[in-house]
Chains A and B, each alone.
Chain A
Amino acid sequence: MIEVMHLGKRYGETAAIDDVSFTVAKGEILAFLGPNGAGKTTTMRILTCFMPATSGTAKVSGFDIFESPMEVKRRIGYLPENPPVYPEMTVSEYLQFVAKIKGVPHKKVGAALASALEKCNLGDVARRLIGNLSRGFRQRVGLAQAMIHNPDVLILDEPTVGLDPKQIIEIRELIKGLGGEHTIVLSTHILPEATAVCQKVVIINRGRVVAVDSQERLSAQLRRSEKLSVRVRRGEAVDPQKILSIDGVQQILPQPAVDGEGVFIIESELGRDVREELAKRVVESGWGLLEMKPLAISLEEVFLQLTTEEKGVEEAAAAPVADGGVAV
């Protein structure tokens, strides 16, 4: 549904994102996980055709973001970090306006409005001014705005930031409910959020994708193994058995490389340094060691910067909704 290919964005000398690639399948919920300033918003803004990339491209529902931006825009619902609402309008006036500019046919605007109000549980506040609504309701108006034209893809930038724990749970349930029907990309810097809502996680740090995987496998890897990337001159000559026979090595994964060189990712037991032995083997076998660097470090570094605990949310999730709050 979404294919991102080598996307890059530079602001003068500094690169906001660099060579970002990933894909999202139809109906999947993908979390874009990374610390603040990692390039999450930039990537999302490029995907929604809000700003152009300086290199690379992306396809949404098969349409290229540069060649057919109008088609892409028709198929995307976008919730920026601050919901783009007009405080002077009422909720239903605003949603009707959005439906019209998103290309919903005039006759269907009423139906689209009704279904968005219902899905986001906004029926009670439909006639209130957006400016008078609480932050949580405003966020829901933002969500309703993103899905009013029933887009294939929903892009949500930090949808739970600034909400109180109860509102966070409501919004997450809402997003989960939307998955399957819509393909969803959401960004977050909160680790449990990715776990709670998403099937797949793209971890991004300093503008680069550090890992793409399912949340469970990522954390499993993080706990169980250390990763080394090894580059050798003569890739064909490499015999995986020789490396696997090193004490502690669990797995060897060949990576794409150029000019006959070989790049391998070698996973080893946690807490066991195999670098010395590995270097010896490679050199003795005459494969031509060019480079060896630990990989897991960067992943760990990212995880260290992420928010891994959410005070209040767990308790609120455990406690029954008894205070008359709106349960979604």
Chain B
Amino acid sequence: MRNILTLAEKELKLYFISPIAYVLAMVFLMVSDYLFHSQVFFYSTLSSQAMRAQGNLPQINLHEILFRPTFLNMSVILLLIMPLLTMRLFAEEKKGRTTELLMTSPLTITEIVLGKFLAVWFLYALLLGLTLHLPLMLSHVTYVAWKPLIASYVGLLLMGGVFLSIGLFASSLTENQIVAAVISFGILIGFWLIGMTAQTVSDSSVGEVFSYLSLIDHLDNFVKGMINTRDLTYFISLTILGLFLTHRVVESQRWK
């Protein structure tokens, strides 16, 4: 455990020394704030219309109309920026020949993989934490339902774990950071396309399989405020699969 924390600390240090953490945080916040802002406008037009249409008040739910689309949009932005966070993790070590240091130190490969994963996951949690200013701001002017928001953040954290473990795997495959990023884009977009296909497939049983595989569909359940074992299992097992594959790749590279 001590080794994992030492490794994680080193990774975090390297993230904050380089501009990458700051640049990504800025871009991510700018885009997600803009999307939130436009959603707020949409919500306010909708509610003023509702006020005029007295009598039959349509169900206007703040969480449903404001936060749910924001989080789903945010997940797409995350899909685009997360590979940029993970691409350096193993590729840079290989390029800089520091793998030799790690592999000849009394560390297990599991410790190395987990150290890197926890570091980048923690960084991601910080990034996500920065978006908390959106509901906090809103809570000054209106009533905000915190419980579904908590579920949404849990979902985003878990989905991020999947993104990051896939990115880590891609990074372990190559010593070129760009190649690592492109591989993880490829895999993540693949998952996203599976979700889109699920909606268009006519055969219901095939559609069900596809929708079970889709990352966004599982995230949507969390965002709606539901924490299911089904979705938990999905995210956690995919994360573990990514980490396991990374472990195998790193181990196999010793034999080449």
Where the two chains meet, the residues of A that have a C-beta atom closer than 8 Å to any C-beta of B are: 45, 48-52, 70, 73-74, 76, 78, 80, 82, 84-89, 93, 97-98, 100-103, 145
- Whether the pair B100, A78 counts as a contact (CB closer than 8 A) is yes
Known: A84-B97, A84-B100. A52 touches B105 (CB 8 A): no
A80 touching B10, Cβ below 8 Å: no
| B6 to chain A: closest residue by CB | A100
Docked CA distance A98–B107 (Å): 11
Q: Which of A50, A70, A86 makes the CB contact (< 8 A) with B100?
A: A50
Interface of A is mostly: loop
Q: Which residue of B lies closest to A102 (CB)?
A: B105
Whole-angstrom distance between the Cβ of B6 and the nearest chain A Cβ: 4
Q: Which residues of B contact A100 (CB under 8 A)?
A: 2-3, 6
Assuming the A-B contacts A86-B14, A88-B14, are A78 and B104 also in contact, with contact meaning beta carbons closer than 8 angstroms in the complex? yes
Count of interface residues, chain B, beta-carbon cutoff 8 Å: 24
A87 close to B107 (CB less than 8 A): no
Count of inter-chain pairs, beta carbons less than 8 A: 64
Given known A73-B105, A86-B14, contact A52–B100 (CB-CB < 8 A)? no
- Among B18, B98, B254, contact of A84 (Cβ-Cβ < 8 Å): B98
B106 at the interface (CB under 8 A from A): yes
Interface contact A93-B100, CB-CB below 8 Å: no
Q: Chain B residues with Cβ under 8 A from A48's Cβ?
A: 104
Give which listed residue, A73, A82, A89, A101, contacts B97 with CB less than 8 A: A82
A45 to B253, CA, bound (A): 13
Within 8 A of A (CB), among B1-24: 2-3, 6-7, 10, 13-14, 17-18
Q: CA A88 – CA B255 in complex, angstroms? A: 29
Docked Cα-Cα span, A189 to B119, in Å, equals 41
Given A50-B254, A88-B17, A93-B13, verify A98-B96 contact (CB < 8 Å).
no
Instruction: Mark B89-117 against chain A: 1 for CB-CB distance below 8 A, else 0.
Output: 00000001111111111111000000000
Give every chain A residue within 8 A of B106 (Cβ-Cβ).
70, 73-74, 101-103
Task: Please measure, in the bound complex, the distance between the C-alpha atom of A98 and the C-alpha atom of B10, giving whole angstroms.
Answer: 10
15 contacts between A and B (CB under 8 A): A49-B104, A50-B103, A73-B104, A73-B106, A78-B101, A82-B97, A85-B96, A85-B98, A86-B98, A88-B14, A88-B18, A93-B13, A98-B101, A100-B3, A102-B105
Q: How far is the CB of A71 from chain B (nearest CB, A)?
A: 8
Contacts of B6 in A (CB 8 A): 97, 100-101
A51 and B96 in contact, given A74-B106, A97-B10 (Cβ under 8 angstroms): no
By a CB distance below 8 angstroms, the chain A residues around B103 are: 49-50
Chain A residues contacting B13 (CB-CB under 8 Å) are: 89, 93
Nearest B residue to A103, CB-CB: B106
Give which listed residue, B7, B98, B104, B107, contacts A50 with CB less than 8 A: B104
Closest approach, in angstroms, between the C-beta of B90 and any C-beta of chain A? 14
Tell me if A76 and B254 are in contact (CB < 8 A).
Answer: no
Which chain B positions have C-beta within 8 A of A85? 96, 98
Please measure, in the bound complex, the distance between the C-alpha atom of A209 and the C-alpha atom of B7, giving whole angstroms.
39
A residues near B105, Cβ cutoff 8 Å: 73, 98, 101-102
